[in-house]
Structure 1
Amino acid sequence: MTDPTGAPTGRTDGAPGAPIRVLIAEDQALLRTTLAALLQPEPGMSVVGLAEDGARAVALAAELRPDVVLMDIQMPGLTGIEATSRICADPALAATRVLILTMFEVDDYVLGALRAGACGFLLKDTDPQSLVDAVRTVHEGQSLLSPQVLARLVARMPRAVAAGAPGIARADDVEALTPRQREVLLLIARGLSNSEIEVELGITRATCRSHITALLARLGARDRAQLVIAAYESGLVDPH
């Protein structure tokens, strides 16, 4: 598994070869059971819980500590965004990754969920193999969201509101970065991988990871997706 900098984490929780433990939070019973039926038979994967609303998702996440939570956004009571925020803010669930389920590719709610700490989003009408691949991708520590799609999401939101979102950098935060850190952040926002950033800037792998680690800490970002949000919302990158 990799960390947000692109380096292996050496994560060892669970037995070697243990299956990816998935919690499904979806208020529609039919879709909830369908998702479980698709994932449960998959080699190396296990559905450990089903939640019908956000409050139940938070409770089950705390109890079961799943590797991945498939989270519907629009649920009765506690929304998927608030549930995601509570799960991602729990230090005991630092290794749990949240993957958002949505009906639309560009949804105003998705940006809020990404700010809250979600790793990406998945369309509800996706094909079964893409669902399986998505769960594996976020479990490996990667973000399931292209910078291009994220730019479209940010462009839909008023910048004044977006910049005031808790946990995401303001323009002043980005301005306080070193020139090299801003360069790295800009390249991350443009979708470059670590190896591509290293070549672009002529820096070593260790230096690149060091810059990304510093960016995550200084901008209060959980992962690379939140770094991209910070770059757009601070005005470093123009989404238009």
Structure 2
Amino acid sequence: MRFKRNGSYTLNRKSKTKPNGKKPPAEEKKQYLEPEFTKIRVVDFDLKELVVLPREIDLNEWLASNTTTFFNLINLQYSTISEFCTGDTCQAMTACNTIYYWYDERGKKTKCTAPQYVDFVMSLCQKLVTDEEIFPTKYGKEFPNSFESLVKKICRYLFHVLAHLYWAHFKETVALDLQGHLNTLYAHFIVFVREFNLVDPKETCIMDDLSEILCTPAPPPPAQAPSSSAPASAPSPSSQNHVTER
């Protein structure tokens, strides 16, 4: 069975200057963990049901369909705040205490601004998901032996973009009232990559505090008196001064 997969996307990123051109102070950088924001979702059912491989679907078809969808959705989510992600406001591709470097096809390491890094990611992802030799859409066309490794590569890069959205642009996301979409997209993506072991846990551990909150099925509407003893989610006491380079 073949899925119709649309690998096209539109980049809607312009080099505009953020109004204040300032980054939020360090103590505000995990605003996304505050309960008033984490409770906002687009859906309230267990996302595990969406990612489990259906019995009648080939594994590679399932990976291809979902990976292409995540690529399009994450690119769209980034485009909503792209005018605030500039070389001035985001001089490096950062998330939590990590700076991501871009490695070209020859393995050359390059430090670049966040918008440059995201452009590299989206260009590479588009090239891969629209390549019929890698993501075949025609009946009878086989997936290459390297398919799984390429899916893992795409998912790792897409995780970097999601992490940067939370770390550097959550305020703008809230201002646009899109935090529910971002939370749901992030949770769906994390549940998916965990289900099929597509991203090394060492890569995603920088966002484990958020993943633990968002990937837990949302509780049903309160039929009983809400508990007042539930502690507010707070950032784990990680070393704020340590910076990891990847």
Q: TM-score range by the shorter chain?
A: under 0.3
TM-score (ref. length: structure 1): 0.24
TM-score (ref. length: structure 2): 0.23
Structure with greater strand percent: 1
Structure whose CA Rg is larger: 2
Greater relative contact order (Cα 8 A, min sep 6): structure 1 or 2? 2
